[in-house]
Amino acid sequence: MRILVTRCSIRYEGRLVTTLESGDRVVLFKDDGAVVVHAGQGAKPINYMPGPTVVTEDGRTLVVSRPATGESLVIDVEDVHADTNWELEDAAKLVREGREKDIQATIFQTPEAIEFGMVGLQRELFTEVGPVDLFCRDTDGRTCVIEVKRVRAVAAAVEQLNRYMDEVQKNPAHAPARGILVAPELAPQARVLLEKWGYDFIALDEVLSRCPDGEELMRLF
One domain for residues 51 and 155: no
Q: How buried is 132 (Cβ within 10 angstroms: 0-12 exposed, 13-18 middle, 19+ buried)?
A: buried
Let me know: does 5 contact 62? Beta carbons within 8 Å: no
Question: Which range marks the domain in which residue 65 is found?
Answer: 2-85
pLDDT at 98: 45
In this prediction, residue 78 carries a pLDDT of 96
103: closest CA among 37, 3, 183? 183
pTM to 2 decimal places: 0.55
Bigger pLDDT: 218 or 210? Answer: 210
Average pLDDT over residues 68-74: 90
Q: Are residues 45 and 133 in the same domain?
A: no
Q: Choose the final residue of a domain: 39, 60, 85.
A: 85
94 within some domain? no
Which residues contact residue 86 at a Cβ distance below 8 angstroms, ignoring those fewer than 6 apart? 1, 2, 3
- State the Cα–Cα distance between residues 74 and 201, nearest whole angstrom: 43
Q: Domain tally for the chain?
A: 2
| Mean of per-residue pLDDT scores for the chain | 89
Residue 36 lies in a domain: yes
Q: Domain containing 168 — which CATH number?
A: 3.40.1350.10
In this prediction, residues 205-215 reach a mean pLDDT of 80
Same domain, 150 and 71: no
194 within a domain of the structure (yes/no)? yes
The reply to whether 126 and 183 lie within a common domain is: yes
Final residue before a domain boundary, out of 19, 52, 85: 85
